[in-house]
Amino acid sequence: MTKTRLDSALAQAAARLPGPQPRFEAELLLGHALGRDRAWLFAHGERVLDADEHAVFGALLERRIAGEPVAYLIGARGFWSLDLAVQPGVLIPRPETELLVELALLQLADRGRVADLGTGSGAIALAIASERPQAQVTAVDISREALAVAQRNAIAAGIDNVVFRHGDWLAPLAGERFDAIVSNPPYLATDDPHLQQGDLRFEPALALASGSDGLDAIRHIIAAAPDHLVAGGWLLFEHGWTQGEAVRALLDAAGYVEVSTARDLEQRERVSMGRWP
Ligand code: GLN
């Protein structure tokens, strides 16, 4: 068989991969195939791949070209300062969600109590806990598979100030109150065509879609959160970029104060918040 150098394998792979980051994706896949990080790849461009390495990388490449998300193929995704394990069955953390973490940190005192509803891989809860090691973080998910992944991520990151609860939104938190409640809930309409495109085709529908207007989960959280917030506590959640006006109206109508929406790096309305008086 032909001898392929690592640098030319990367260039050939990048030329075949669709999407905006073909080179980066090729590096992630080859790094995974070789059990090495990207820095190692840069330093070993002249190394020749053996037949096994070639086969493993080739198989990953074909699966990626067929549409599988890179994060599921390599079992990991960076979020905040964390390298999180992910697998089919949990949402792949998105960079936009870091805005929610930043805004929550602004409101949260060192020893604050915060609940993350629908924690998935644990992205939000663990990012907050890593920045506020004295805070008491509670991570909730209805998916036991997601909770297992999130718990594994906490252990891997050495984070010990998060407790995990199984259940539907606030249901497992009876009698508990928090200084902040945060969530990146599902917010697509069930017939949103994006669900049939890209990575979303491979992600759990439960984590993505929520009713005919995408707002079922958000309506539920807005209604249920006041029983679990201290006076002056904050509710902050992510939503779709066209939903800002609708969610501010819902927050206002429910009696929250200081209602506002923050925009993401693309200047799209992305995170709304309100304070329970
Ligand atoms: N909280 C997780 C994240 O932001 C999962 C969110 C979800 O499954 N909708 O990545």
Could you read off the pLDDT of 15-48 as tens digits, one per residue? 999 888 999 999 999 999 999 999 999 999 999 9
Q: How far is the C-alpha of 26 from the C-alpha of 81, rounded, in Å?
A: 22
Task: Say how many domains are in the chain.
Answer: 2
**Percent above pLDDT 70 for the chain:** 99
Query: 119: Cβ below 6 Å to ligand 1?
Result: yes
> Residue 197's pLDDT is what?
94
* Residue 173 belongs to domain spanning: 88-275
Residues 58 and 108 in one domain: no
Residues 145 and 23 in one domain: no
> Residue 248's pLDDT is what?
98
178 in any annotated domain = yes
> Residue 103's pLDDT is what?
97
Ligand 1 atom closest to Cα of 79? Answer: 10
Residues 109 and 175 in one domain: yes
The tens digit of pLDDT for each residue in 64-101 reads: 999 999 999 999 999 999 999 999 999 999 999 999 99
**Percent above pLDDT 90 for the chain:** 97
Cβ pair 234, 179 in contact under 8 A: yes
Residues 12 and 103 in one domain: no
80 in any annotated domain = no
Query: 93: Cβ below 6 Å to ligand 1?
Result: yes
78 in any annotated domain = no
Residues 165 and 254 in one domain: yes
Is pLDDT at 3 greater than 90 in this prediction?
no
Ligand 1 atom closest to Cα of 183? Answer: 1
Residues 30 and 153 in one domain: no
Query: 217: Cβ below 6 Å to ligand 1?
Result: no
Confidence of residue 1 (pLDDT cuts 50, 70, 90): low
Cα–Cα separations (whole angstroms), residue 99 to 15, 35, 77, 243, 259: 33, 31, 17, 16, 17
1 in any annotated domain = no
Residues 97 and 60 in one domain: no
Residues 45 and 107 in one domain: no
Query: 91: Cβ below 6 Å to ligand 1?
Result: yes
Q: How far is the C-alpha of 31 from the C-alpha of 16, rounded, in Å?
A: 17
163 in any annotated domain = yes
> Residue 92's pLDDT is what?
98
Ligand 1 atom closest to Cα of 93? Answer: 10
The tens digit of pLDDT for each residue in 170-197 reads: 999 999 999 999 999 999 999 999 999 9
pTM of the predicted model as reported, rounded to 2 decimal places: 0.95
For the record, the structure tokens of 265 come out as 């790096």
Residues 26 and 159 in one domain: no
Confidence of residue 2 (pLDDT cuts 50, 70, 90): low
Residues 31 and 106 in one domain: no
Residues 221 and 155 in one domain: yes
191 in any annotated domain = yes
CATH number of the domain enclosing 178 = 3.40.50.150
Q: What mean pLDDT, rounded, does the chain reach?
A: 96
Cβ pair 155, 122 in contact under 8 A: no
Confidence of residue 151 (pLDDT cuts 50, 70, 90): very high
Cα–Cα separations (whole angstroms), residue 115 to 42, 60, 68, 161: 41, 37, 31, 12
Residues 179 and 55 in one domain: no
Is pLDDT at 253 greater than 60 in this prediction?
yes
> Residue 19's pLDDT is what?
85
